[in-house]
Amino acid sequence: MSLQRIVRVSLEHPTSAVCVAGVETVIDIYGSVPEGTEMFEVYGTPGVDVYICPSFERSRERADTRRWHFDEGLEIVVVMNSPSNDLNDSHVQIAYHSSQESLPLAYAVLYLTCVDIALDCDLNREGGQDGNFVDKRQWVWGPEGHGAILLVNCDRDDLSSDVQDNYDQHVGCLQDLEDMSLMVLRTQGPAALFEDHRLILHTSSSDARRARVFHVCGPEDSCGAYRCVLGQDKVSYEVPRLHGDEERFFVEGLSFPDAGFPGLLSFHVTLLDDSNEDFSEAPIFTDTVVFRVAPWIMTPSTLPPLEVYVCRVRNNTGFVEAVAELARKAGCQLTVCPQTENRNDRWIQDEMELGYVQAPHKTFPVVFDSPRNGELQEFPYKRILGQDFGYVTREPRDRSVSGLDSFGNLEVSPPVVANGKEYPLGRILIGGNLPGSRGRRVTQVVRDFLHAQRVQPPVELFVDWLAVGHVDEFLSFVPAPDGKGFRMLLASPGACFRLFQEKKKRGHGRALLFEGVIGNGRVRTISINQVLSNENLISFNKFVQSCIDWNREVLKRELGLADRDIIDIPQLFKSERRKATAFFPDLVNMLVLGQHLGIPKPFGPLINGRCCLEEQVRALLEPLGLHCTFIDDFTPYHMLHGEVHCGTNVRRQPFSFKWWHMVP
């Protein structure tokens, strides 16, 4: 970036100037002109390209082709492409002519010293530094785009530290550098020039609050060599030339994109001329690079699982054993949060959401800690935050949260195309109220954070009809070998009533729900006939079906789905204080581990010794190559208004698609 460098020449004595390789310098010849001048000639020494350019046009012509009529509309433009070896080792000579004289009226000489200054980073997103990129001031999305990427350094690589890496101003261990982006300042030119010229690395005060820069000031294998030079209250730094032509910097992000911060950060290096004792420093040239802070990205249930989390509490031993067996079949690591740490808070899905951040040089998982702050509130920070595992949270200042702020109410779809727009990383799904109503919504700070990530634009669904109010109570996604590569499962009272009516017609009206529920005397069995004759239950489930149908149409529109992409899973709900809860264990609230599904055991009517609800779910899902395992969660979860998905969490493989290749 040139600062429109204009140099004025003098007839009385030679003038000197500094120019930057590849950057145009304009020579002002109109301030001191011999009387009678009608034409002029311009010549440059080898390596100096001189052009004549009408100031109001973009076209230009080499200056050394002819004499030029003296016209104040002309500009002399000088370009040098190679740095000088010595001070003033090149020059431009201007000869002023009159038609009345055979010899020039006068000469003016401008001595030039060329330096090459470049602030470089991974502009082409290939893990290196591209010093020849054209427009470093722009950050462009898409597969043909350009612009560097910065990770929020929100993990804790130094295990002796009590805080995340982006909360301190030092490099605690060399592994910490892997989470930063390299920025290189390259300078070429005579060393003597920098005796009265300074290089200043700088940024804005707002950007300094969101990123930190370390200068390598010693051996790179020593943590003490990395000096914090920009960040927080440090907005400028005079760069010493410690390593000759190249100075290396490491940049870390401090903040994710959020309300008021679109994620773009700029760093500049400016060459200042301090050679004139009678004037203040003058800027000669500024080079700029722009980084975009990598967004936090959610992973849908259709991505391969890596690690399953579950809490051990006083009455869920069988549940933990079943989840462990399912994880073993799926080839996943299992992490069990002991009761001493969860203090009987079993809702690990509600406490956190596991996603990741990615740059060309590094990818690592990041846990998003919900603002619900139950007894599990310390688990994400104390047990998950660590080496190459980051942490982020958002809490309202007044700490006013509702049940909708638990992360069972935060899901993401698989990749979709909707209304001609591609969403290669899917779309975030959160639950709220109907437009214009005063019901519950996700707290503003969480909504702001999710929208600001941009790569998974959120869709808000209607969940305020549910007592708990989570999207995972009526939908989930499973992988499929055909179509869009997945199916969306929706809870369906209508499908359940149709199933029960079919069983009644076949003479099974007396078959009982809830037979075999162990250790819970509060549960009474109920027959198919009793369900189908319960007008209150039927009426309430018609209301529930209307709410789900409203969401169905939103999901079809916003995710580009057709009815063939949706599977209706039989499910009934009951009314508690005019809100809905699952009548029997909620079948869509499942744990998806690749082809292995951990589904709440519904304890449906037994027909010929088999649960007809389980048989129906198998018939719907097993043709997709899925394996259904029904897990008894009745007493430890269902009776507390939760199910298998609510009581588990999964870290998954990141998308193979790179987020910077999309166009939001």
Q: CATH code at 263?
A: 2.60.40.1700
Q: What is the mean pLDDT of residues 135-163?
A: 93
* Euclidean distance between CA atoms 110 and 10, whole angstroms: 8
In whole angstroms, how far apart are CA 418 and each of 299, 449, 645? 19, 23, 27
Strands 25-28 and 6-8, how do they pair? Answer: parallel
Give the CATH number, domain containing residue 102: 2.60.40.1860
Q: 383 φ, ψ to 5°?
A: -110, -30
In whole angstroms, how far apart are CA 264 and each of 292, 393, 575? 5, 20, 48
In whole angstroms, how far apart are CA 557 and each of 323, 474, 554, 560, 561? 35, 18, 5, 5, 7
* Euclidean distance between CA atoms 392 and 653, whole angstroms: 19
Helices (H), 32-163: none
The range of the structural domain enclosing residue 35 comes to 5-116
Clarify whether residues 218 and 343 are in a common domain.
no
234: buried, middle or exposed (CB in 10 Å: 19+, 13-18, 0-12)? middle
- What count of Cα atoms within 13 Å lies in the side-chain half-sphere of residue 458? 21
Q: 215 φ, ψ to 5°?
A: -100, 135
- In b/e form, how buried is each residue of 265-279, taking b as 16+ CB within 10 angstroms? bbbbbbbbbeeeeee
Clarify whether residues 314 and 264 are in a common domain.
no
Q: What is the pLDDT of residue 521?
A: 65
Clarify whether residues 81 and 10 are in a common domain.
yes
With the C-alpha atoms ordered 209, 211, 212, 213, is the resulting torsion angle positive or negative?
negative
* Euclidean distance between CA atoms 625 and 433, whole angstroms: 36
Clarify whether residues 54 and 100 are in a common domain.
yes
Q: What is the pLDDT of residue 527?
A: 98
* Euclidean distance between CA atoms 578 and 568, whole angstroms: 24
- In b/e form, how buried is each residue of 102-111, taking b as 16+ CB within 10 angstroms? eebbbebebe
Task: Kindly state the percentage of the chain with pLDDT values over 70.
Answer: 97
Does the pLDDT at position 129 exceed 90?
A: no
In whole angstroms, how far apart are CA 278 and each of 192, 264, 274, 275, 282? 20, 39, 10, 9, 12
* Euclidean distance between CA atoms 645 and 4, whole angstroms: 61
* Euclidean distance between CA atoms 642 and 406, whole angstroms: 12
Clarify whether residues 528 and 601 are in a common domain.
yes
- List residues bridging with 250 in a β-sheet: 182, 214
Does the pLDDT at position 35 exceed 80?
A: yes
Give kind and range of the element (H or E) at residue 269: strand 264-273
Clarify whether residues 49 and 155 are in a common domain.
no
Q: Are 216 and 251 in contact (CB under 8 A)?
A: no
Q: Are 632 and 322 in contact (CB under 8 A)?
A: yes
Q: What is the pLDDT of residue 1?
A: 43
* Euclidean distance between CA atoms 314 and 346, whole angstroms: 10
Of 293, 317, 347, which residue sits at a domain end? 293
Task: List the structure tokens of 264.
Answer: 């773009």
Does the pLDDT at position 127 exceed 70?
A: no
Q: Are 466 and 439 in contact (CB under 8 A)?
A: no
Clarify whether residues 368 and 485 are in a common domain.
yes
Clarify whether residues 443 and 481 are in a common domain.
yes
Does the pLDDT at position 424 exceed 90?
A: yes
Does the pLDDT at position 4 exceed 60?
A: no
Q: Which residue has the higher pLDDT, 159 or 177?
A: 177
- In b/e form, how buried is each residue of 28-46, taking b as 16+ CB within 10 angstroms? ebeeebeeebebbbbebee
Tell me the pLDDT tens digit for each residue of 485-519.
999 999 999 999 999 999 999 999 999 999 989 76
Task: List the structure tokens of 82.
Answer: 């190679």
CA 75 to chain centroid? 46
Nearest Cα residue to 231 out of 190, 280, 265: 265
Q: What is the pLDDT of residue 520?
A: 64
How big is the chain, counted in residues?
664
Cβ atoms within 10 Å, residue 465: 23
In whole angstroms, how far apart are CA 111 and each of 44, 92, 142, 187? 10, 7, 45, 20
Does the pLDDT at position 271 exceed 80?
A: yes
Of 293, 319, 342, which residue sits at a domain end? 293
Residue 134's pLDDT band (cuts 50, 70, 90): low
Give the CATH number, domain containing residue 321: 3.75.10.10
- In b/e form, how buried is each residue of 621-659, taking b as 16+ CB within 10 angstroms? beebebbbbbbbbbbbbbeebbbbbbbbbbbbebbeebb
Tell me the pLDDT tens digit for each residue of 326-368.
999 999 999 999 999 999 999 999 999 999 999 999 999 999 9
Clarify whether residues 413 and 448 are in a common domain.
yes
Clarify whether residues 111 and 137 are in a common domain.
no
Give kind and range of the element (H or E) at residue 115: strand 106-120
Clarify whether residues 394 and 492 are in a common domain.
yes
Q: What is the pLDDT of residue 64?
A: 83
Q: Is the pTM of this model over 0.85?
A: yes
**194 by DSSP, 3-state: which?**
helix
Tell me the pLDDT tens digit for each residue of 177-234.
999 999 999 999 999 999 999 999 999 999 999 999 999 999 999 999 999 999 999 9
Of 116, 151, 170, which residue sits at a domain end? 116
- List residues bridging with 577 in a β-sheet: none
Q: What is the pLDDT of residue 241?
A: 84
Q: What is the pLDDT of residue 55?
A: 64
Cβ atoms within 10 Å, residue 245: 13
Tell me the pLDDT tens digit for each residue of 371-410.
998 999 999 999 999 999 999 999 998 878 999 999 999 9
- List residues bridging with 282 in a β-sheet: 273
State the total domains in the chain.
3
Residues noted as catalytic: 350, 470, 472, 646
Mean pLDDT of all residues belonging to the chain: 93
Q: What is the mean pLDDT of residues 265-286?
A: 89
Residue with tokens 């199916």: 487
Torsion angle defined by CA atoms of residues 129, 135, 140 and 146, in that order, rounded to the nearest 10 degrees: -20
* Euclidean distance between CA atoms 412 and 426, whole angstroms: 6
Q: Are 526 and 514 in contact (CB under 8 A)?
A: yes
* Euclidean distance between CA atoms 118 and 246, whole angstroms: 10
With the C-alpha atoms ordered 213, 219, 221, 223, is the resulting torsion angle positive or negative?
negative
Query: Residue type at 494?
Result: G
Sequence-distant (6+) residues with CB within 8 A of 64 are 41, 42, 43, 44, 50
Across 3-7, 102-106, 225-229, which has the greatest mean pLDDT?
Answer: 225-229
Q: What is the pLDDT of residue 428?
A: 98
Strands 211-216 and 282-293, how do they pair? Answer: unpaired
Q: Are 146 and 158 in contact (CB under 8 A)?
A: no
Cβ atoms within 10 Å, residue 126: 10
* Euclidean distance between CA atoms 534 and 577, whole angstroms: 18
Sequence-distant (6+) residues with CB within 8 A of 31 are 8, 9, 10
Tell me the pLDDT tens digit for each residue of 591-649.
999 999 999 999 999 999 999 999 999 999 999 999 999 999 999 999 999 999 999 99
Give kind and range of the element (H or E) at residue 352: strand 352-359
Clarify whether residues 393 and 476 are in a common domain.
yes
Q: Are 597 and 562 in contact (CB under 8 A)?
A: no
